[in-house]
Amino acid sequence: MPSRKEGKKVLWPAYFDIHTKRSGGRRIPKNLAVENPKIEDIARAVKTLGIEYEVEYEPRYPSKWWKETGRVLVKTPMKKEELLKKVAEIIKNNRSD
């Protein structure tokens, strides 16, 4: 698990899933959430922002340990909530094309 000292933030697909409740792990407003987000969507959005990132395919979101979802590790000084909203907006815009 990356440490906070490394400056990496973890982005899980559950943060962006419209079918996940806030209490279940969604971190963004429903109006920015999408259906069934993939780590590839998240990675593409982070790349669009020009931020250094790393994709890990094996990790599982702790509250849904039975699903292999993967995660994206992002190295940025940006606050996590700000990062999540920017990534969510890019994913949503790419989905509406």
Q: How many domains is the chain built from?
A: 1
How far, in Å, are 30, 52, 91 from residue 20 at the CA level? 9, 27, 16
Distance, CA of 59 to CA of 28 (rounded, Å): 21
The H or E element spanning position 56 is strand 52-56
Q: What is the pLDDT of residues 1-51, one digit of tens each?
A: 554 547 799 999 999 999 999 998 999 999 999 999 999 999 999 999 999
**Domain of residue 75, residue span:** 4-95
Q: With bands split at pLDDT 50, 70 and 90, how would you rate the model's confidence at 62?
A: confident
CATH code at position 8: 3.30.56.30
Higher pLDDT, 66 or 60: 60
Pair 86, 49: CB distance under 8 Å: yes
